Structure 1
Amino acid sequence: MSVFTPLVTLLSQLAHLLQPLFGASAMAAAIVLFTLCVRLVLHPLARAAARGERVRNRLAPRIAELNARHKGDPQRMQRALTELYAKEGVSPIAGCLPTLLQLPVFAVTYHLFSGGGGALRDHTLAGAPLGGHWLDAVRAGGVFGPHGVVFLALFAVITAVAAWTFRRARKAAAHAGSAAAPGALPGAGGLAKFLPLLSFGTLVTAAVVPLATGLYLATTMTWTAVERALLQRTPDTPEVAPGAVESIP
């Protein structure tokens, strides 16, 4: 039995349950539902990451003091930061965990609908095969052909979410001011400007992976944007510290 068999069975069962509502597109709906379940399981980590971001913002003055004290000694500065974060009970990499833990799910989804899932790739979304690629759809019927428009709709969703994420990041940066926070790592300002653009990289990825994988990307990207917006609007969330970087999915 293949290691992918349990997921194939799960998706097939979900599609069977959803078929009365979504008909021939039930497998696509099953992928969306599966993605939402994965993100729901990872939500506690997202909450922990949001808490860590708030703590790091609160610690900005102390980090500035450490930076001034250990100026010219990066190793001692790193040790001091590690001790400070450990004392506060936060991890500098906490914000990366939700994204890192999704990579295996992304890889499995790509494998299943690139040929490893057998008949799964023959399921469709509005007539477009879930195992098909955008260039195949364009060659078969043109950009605005029956399958091409399905990909265009997917790209439109990804672009809209990426643009919303980018605007929110720019707004946060404008509110914080153009100056980097005291004690910020060298190059943090440039990194803060670059990271929001990574959301648009999802559009490039969706153009080269199977439709099913692009659907997964669009779903998880939308969840991430909405989740982060809600977590940052909680009453105990302080103002964004100057130079704070908003992580992207």
Structure 2
Amino acid sequence: MSVFIDLVALLGRLLEPVLDESATAAAIVLFTVLVRLALHPLSRAAFRGATPVAGILPVLLQLPVFFLMYRAFSSAEIGGAANELLGHRLFAAPLGDRWGEALGEGGLFGERGLVFLGLFAVVAVVAAWSAARGRKAAALMAAAGGAGGGIAKPGGAKAGGAKAAGAKPGGAKAAGIVAGGAKAAGAKAGGPKAAGAKRSGAGGGGAVAGLTAEQQELMRKVGGVLPLLSFGTLITAALVPLAAGLYLVTTTAWSVAERAWLQYRKDRAERAEGAVSGAERSAM
């Protein structure tokens, strides 16, 4: 723990000429950014879905750091010596203060209370941003499950005329498809099964091969509830020392911004790939 305290103290001394009493608070934010930069390759791998473990590791690796931050600003002594970090502040609030202590030193709108209210406001904005992105992602996944997951249409094979993978009605055999009895990848004309999706009743309305209607509805409901869990950060920030709350809000904001940036890069790459494919098809 002493190494951690020494590092934060060093960063604070470097920032002190500019930020004065709030230098250590800024050092905590800077330290958090350095931790997240070190974990960025894992976060990128998790976003790509490289391995299931990759999504858990960034969270697990931050737990010891958060614990050290909590202990460093909760202990009056470290290694038998006075804890120098407890004397530092963010504006009027000591970094070792909790919200309950701030309320006892001037109430909700006292000098210390206002610092915590500012922290809570930032946490709420980040949580709302995270919740909005979570709902949007859940809606897109549900829509993709319904539309792209395989609503079977009666054509990769047409009933009675069976055109599938180049099969011509009337007799030609192509890619193993026999017109008039059309079988292509297991699809039968007049009762087509394409990639395991069964043709539904009248008009071939289409059954969802990827997600059923019930699964899509469940996905929407879960997608509406899970993002709200990000507001639980507010409760945590109210219970831990102010320094730990700073770490929490910084790493949470980083996570949301990082995921938004990775999604933006992925969408841009897909658009560029689609434009190239379109240009190649036009050239042909």
TM-score interval (norm. to shorter): 0.7 to 0.9
Q: Name the CA distance, whole Å, in 2 between partners of 1:43 and 1:176.
A: 24
| Structure with more helix by fraction | 1
Q: Name the CA distance, whole Å, in 1 between partners of 2:10 and 2:245.
A: 21
1:166 aligns with 2:131: yes
Equivalence for 1:216: 247
Q: Name the CA distance, whole Å, in 1 between partners of 2:244 and 2:45.
A: 27
Letter matched to residue 236 of structure 2: T
Equivalence for 1:198: 229
Structure of larger gyration radius: 2
CA shift for structure 1 position 173: 2.3
1:111 aligns with 2:142: no
Q: How far does the alpha carbon of each residue in 1:150-204 deviate from its partner, in whole angstroms, 9 at most, with x for none?
A: 00000000000000111111122233336687379x8973544332122111110
Q: Name the CA distance, whole Å, in 2 between partners of 1:160 and 1:17.
A: 30
Q: Name the CA distance, whole Å, in 2 between partners of 1:40 and 1:139.
A: 38
Equivalence for 2:256: 225
Equivalence for 2:23: 26
SS of the residue aligned with 1:177?
helix
Q: How far does the alpha carbon of each residue in 1:11-56 deviate from its partner, in whole angstroms, 9 at most, with x for none?
A: 111111000110011110110000000000000001101111xxxx
Q: Name the CA distance, whole Å, in 1 between partners of 2:69 and 2:239.
A: 14
1:98 aligns with 2:58: yes
Q: How far does the alpha carbon of each residue in 1:62-116 deviate from its partner, in whole angstroms, 9 at most, with x for none?
A: xxxxxxxxxxxxxxxxxxxxxxxxxxxx322321211111011000000000115
1:132 aligns with 2:131: no
| Structure with more strand by fraction | 2
1:237–1:31 CA distance, 2 compared to 1 (3 A): farther
Q: Name the CA distance, whole Å, in 2 between partners of 1:228 and 1:173.
A: 14
CA shift for structure 1 position 120: 0.9
Equivalence for 1:56: none
CA shift for structure 1 position 236: 3.7
TM-score normalised per structure 1: 0.73
Q: Name the CA distance, whole Å, in 2 between partners of 1:152 and 1:196.
A: 22
Q: Please report the RMSD computed on the Cα atoms of aligned residues, expressed in angstroms.
A: 2.2
What runs of 5+ residues in structure 1 fail to find an aligned partner? 53-89, 239-249
Letter matched to residue 26 of structure 1: A
User: Is the 2:29–2:246 Cα contact (8 Å) retained in structure 1?
Assistant: yes
TM-score normalised per structure 2: 0.65
User: Is the 2:21–2:88 Cα contact (8 Å) retained in structure 1?
Assistant: yes
Letter matched to residue 111 of structure 1: R
* Percent of residue pairs bearing the same amino acid type: 51
Q: Name the CA distance, whole Å, in 1 between partners of 2:113 and 2:123.
A: 15
User: Is the 2:139–2:223 Cα contact (8 Å) retained in structure 1?
Assistant: no
Equivalence for 1:50: 47
Letter matched to residue 220 of structure 1: T
SS of the residue aligned with 1:229?
helix
> How many residues matched?
197
Greater RCO between the two (CA within 8 Å, min separation 6)? 1
Equivalence for 2:142: 177
1:8–1:143 CA distance, 2 compared to 1 (3 A): same
CA shift for structure 1 position 139: 1.3
Among candidates 99, 111, 116, match of residue 151 of structure 1: 116
What runs of 5+ residues in structure 2 fail to find an aligned partner? 150-209, 272-284
